[in-house]
Amino acid sequence: MPGSFLRPGAVAQTTIRLIHLAILYAILCYLGVEIALTFRDLREHDPSSLQATSEPRSLSSPASQIPFLGVTVALEQYNTPQDRLQALNRLHEAGFGWVRQRIDWSLIEPQPGEFHWTWTDQVLTEIAAAGLVPVIVLDGSPFWARDSVDRPSSASSQNDLPWRLAPPAAPETFARFAAAFALRYQDTVRFYQIWDEPNIAPHWGNRLIDPVAYARLLRVAATAVRAADPDAVILAAALAPTQDRGHTAIEEGFFLQRLYAAGAAPYFDAVLIQPYGFGTAPEDARSRVDALNFRRALWVRRVMVAAGDAQTPLWAVRFGWNRQVQDPYKTVSMANQSRFTQQAIRHARANWPWLATMGWPVDRPNAPSSHPTWGFSLVTADGNEHALLSVFIEAAQTATETEPSATTGLPYLRFALLLLAGGFLLWWAVLKSRTLPLRHWQTAYRTWPLPGKFAVWALLLIIYYQAVWPPLIILCWLSAAFLIGAEPLVGLMIAAAALPFHFQHKELPLVGAVWAVPPAQAALLATLPALFQHALRVKVGRLRPTLKSINPIRRSRIAFRNAHCANLLVAAWILISLLAARNVWHWPGYIVGLWEFVVVPALLYTGISLLASEPRQQQTLLTALFAGGALAAGVGGIDWLIGGGVSVDGVRRLMGITFSPNQTALYLLRTLPVGIGLLATSGRLRPALTACCLLVAAALLLTASRGALLLGLPAAALVFAVAAARHERFRLGKRSAVLLTMVVGLVLVVGLEIVQLYGERLLNLETLRSRFAIWRDALSLWRHYPLFGVGPGGFYWSFPAFLQPSPAADPNLLHAHSVWLEYATGWGLFGLLWLGALLGWLASVLRHASRGAQAWYRIGLMAALAAGFAHAQVDAFAALPELAAWNFTGLALLSIPNGSDV
């Protein structure tokens, strides 16, 4: 094979250097883990993330004006008032100041408007007589108020009990019940908890967990209760501790963030959590999503502070440790249960001023003695007081003492030293790598025949696909960076071809988090070293002479102006995305959006501008871009043929490699015009390109996307027609005649197929009605943030607050389904101005880029952008990561001058 990697006699020396580098790499990986662990610990113990108030608990807010210790009770288990009073007096004597009692709506209002108040009248009177504060949980739903999916076969079914936890079909019915309750007991009750544990099944019925739906229920109920009782303190539902984020359970932090996104903050006065100990001592300092322990309360508090809600107190309505053997709450000994409880109360009182109160899980469970909750009981099964009760008697008599802070400067010193050590070793590794003949190896690699290069890349991609160990994944990236350094254009080609495979990402497990890296972004990251080296070698002064050498002076001036305007567009895009940060409240979403919609597209633009300056390079890159779309179409076609897809309006729609037929159509719609443009400039590849174009067209048709077929394809055909007729010197040659015949024929065939196959779907106007509802709510969002919008990635975290109730309303939308509202909501007025500038620039490029055979691939690019823009009147234009990257790839290719520019 040409191009030997090693000179004779240098094998031993090179091997030793490689071993040294391997050792350094292993040490760097270890230091990276240590740095990440230390950084996580610093974040978890950062007092500024808690923003503890200096006001006394009793004065900070109405929700804090409650005794510090309470307990959940189940008074429905007692048969006589005397038994209830005895239990309540026992709790008062033990030092508890409040009791939390669930009121089952289905028992109070079994029929609409028919209220049974006798039991609640007695219970609330007895609670007041015992000197305790009632905390009422309004929960459950009667049969008549539930949706059909939350009803058993009949109202008398014995299986009705689990269904009573389902929310009502209409939140207003629950609000009327809550208002009636508050009006009747406003002199007795002040604290109202709206629902319980809506973040886990079965407490949200036979449906997916939906934080925004709960926010709607909370909003109408809180408004009704406050209207009936102006002094009411509204408590958000107590959230169950869980690590999941799925369909039947959502962890407290994310659920709470979605409540804030839905605009629910004004409708609750306290956030309720249940930080059970789960077998670990209160000293367990972990406070993060994957740690179920007592100090999970710190993690929830940080979520609140990050959302700008530091003023709202937190209630730990259920905390504690379980003594029952083989319990789902984990088991501790009775001695540890008492000791942990005492330590937890002391620590919270001394260090958590934002925690208004703490509640024990249960006094006496209304359940069989084998039930796990008996491990928390304050009485024994035979009715005697448990020794645990003495802990609360002592805690009630103990004054609050401030514990000395355990935080020192040692963790920060450790972090600084680790950073210094890591930086030094990284610098050393770079120096060591320079002793290797890397450039000689890259030069030798460039002389390899194409099959050899393909084999190397195939082996690397197979290893990367199978890799799950982070050091191996990073080593694959470094290997790819070495190969791309020899041929930088290959990195851009892989990135362009991999754009549609955004969801086929590689998960890189980090400390406490997972970084999902799509293949296009991985290729782009591996291209960065080559891009950086190339940028250092570029001389800005050579730009205009290069442009003048392509064409006469006039063409050079036009080409330079187009490139300059494109650069300004990219710079302006970065600027307005940064300015939008002023309206951001959910910073993780903004940072992800900034990376996916700004940084990655800008890097692609820069890479193409610097590394693909020649027409042949541009055409090669465009071919890779088309090949990726064709491959996605092929994968989707195979999936459709074996029965995949989703049935809508009587049509089985191709879904492909995404989770939505429309999202697949958005990409394929851009791919098809590019392929047609390449057909006009190709030679040997024409049969393959023709087959791929037909494949993409078929897959696009099978998506049954009305926006793509009725808006996108006609727009692309119009651009081709305008480009063909733009100049009087245009001559209809044989190649152009074949091209235009294909375009016209394709449009006719698609039109006939649409009418024959998709008639029922085209006549269904329900989607259009839902679009109007989305546009109405998105317009309300823009009115609230008119100038800068909510920033990249901010729509998902802002739109639910403006969502009007509707059976078809979707709170999880990522964009406004309109290109105009997409930019208006995301980037405000400046975003609309930027979009107008982009359209004007594209029109200018189209006007000056329609001469010569090589111009057709640029025309295909513009047709693709036009098709995407037309489709975006009812869908996304740049609100999906792969589309944003595609748009900037097209922008870069169109901004680079070539011989056909006039």
Sign of CA dihedral 204, 590, 464, 685: positive
> Is the pLDDT confidence value at 736 over 60?
no
Q: What is the CATH number of domain 47-397?
A: 3.20.20.80
In whole angstroms, give the CA distance from residue 847 to residue 562: 12
Rounded to the nearest angstrom, the gap between the alpha carbon of residue 427 and the centroid of all alpha carbons in its chain is: 35
Sign of CA dihedral 775, 776, 777, 783: positive
Place of tokens 């892989």: 494
> Is the pLDDT confidence value at 730 over 50?
no
> Is the pLDDT confidence value at 791 over 50?
yes
Return the H-helix or E-strand segment holding 298.
helix 296-306
Judge contact between 885 and 499, C-beta under 8 A: yes
| Backbone dihedral angles phi then psi of residue 847, each to the nearest 5 degrees | -70, -25
Identify the weakest region by mean pLDDT among 223-227, 552-556, 692-696, 833-837. Answer: 552-556
> Is the pLDDT confidence value at 83 over 80?
yes
Q: What is the rounded average pLDDT for all residues in the chain?
A: 88
Higher-pLDDT residue of 764 and 190 is 190
> Is the pLDDT confidence value at 483 over 90?
yes
Q: What is the pLDDT of residue 540?
A: 46
Tokens standing for 429? 């590794």
Judge contact between 347 and 47, C-beta under 8 A: no
Return the H-helix or E-strand segment holding 316.
strand 314-316
Q: What is the pLDDT of residue 404?
A: 55
In whole angstroms, give the CA distance from residue 693 to residue 675: 6
Q: What is the pLDDT of residue 856?
A: 82
> Is the pLDDT confidence value at 480 over 90?
yes
Among candidates 666, 758, 667, which has minimal Cα distance to 704? Answer: 758
Q: What is the pLDDT of residue 57?
A: 46
pLDDT-based confidence at 375, cuts 50/70/90?
very high
In whole angstroms, give the CA distance from residue 736 to residue 731: 8
pLDDT digits (tens, 9 = 90+) for 611-650: 988 888 999 999 999 999 999 999 999 999 999 888 887 7
Range 346-365 average pLDDT: 95
pLDDT digits (tens, 9 = 90+) for 660-684: 999 999 999 999 999 999 987 777 7
Judge contact between 813 and 795, C-beta under 8 A: yes
> Is the pLDDT confidence value at 403 over 60?
no
Among candidates 786, 879, 831, which has minimal Cα distance to 569? Answer: 831
In whole angstroms, give the CA distance from residue 127 to residue 103: 14
In whole angstroms, give the CA distance from residue 335 to residue 363: 18
In whole angstroms, give the CA distance from residue 557 to residue 173: 69
Percent with pLDDT over 70 in the chain: 87
β-sheet bridge partners, residue 507: 516
Identify the weakest region by mean pLDDT among 55-64, 97-106, 141-150, 727-736. Answer: 727-736
Place of tokens 């820069």: 606
> Is the pLDDT confidence value at 749 over 80?
no
Q: What is the pLDDT of residue 559?
A: 67
- Whether the pTM exceeds 0.85: the reply is yes
Tokens standing for 717? 């055909």
In whole angstroms, give the CA distance from residue 370 to residue 383: 15
In whole angstroms, give the CA distance from residue 89 to residue 83: 10
- Tell me 865's DSSP state: H
pLDDT-based confidence at 54, cuts 50/70/90?
very low
The shares of helix, strand and coil residues in the chain, as percent rounded to the nearest 5, are 60, 10, 30
> Is the pLDDT confidence value at 729 over 60?
no
In 10 A of CB 409, how many CB atoms?
8
Judge contact between 821 and 282, C-beta under 8 A: no
Alpha helices in 63-170 (DSSP H): 81-93, 105-108, 118-129, 160-163
Percent with pLDDT over 90 in the chain: 68
> Is the pLDDT confidence value at 602 over 90?
yes
In whole angstroms, give the CA distance from residue 498 to residue 628: 6
Q: What is the pLDDT of residue 684?
A: 77
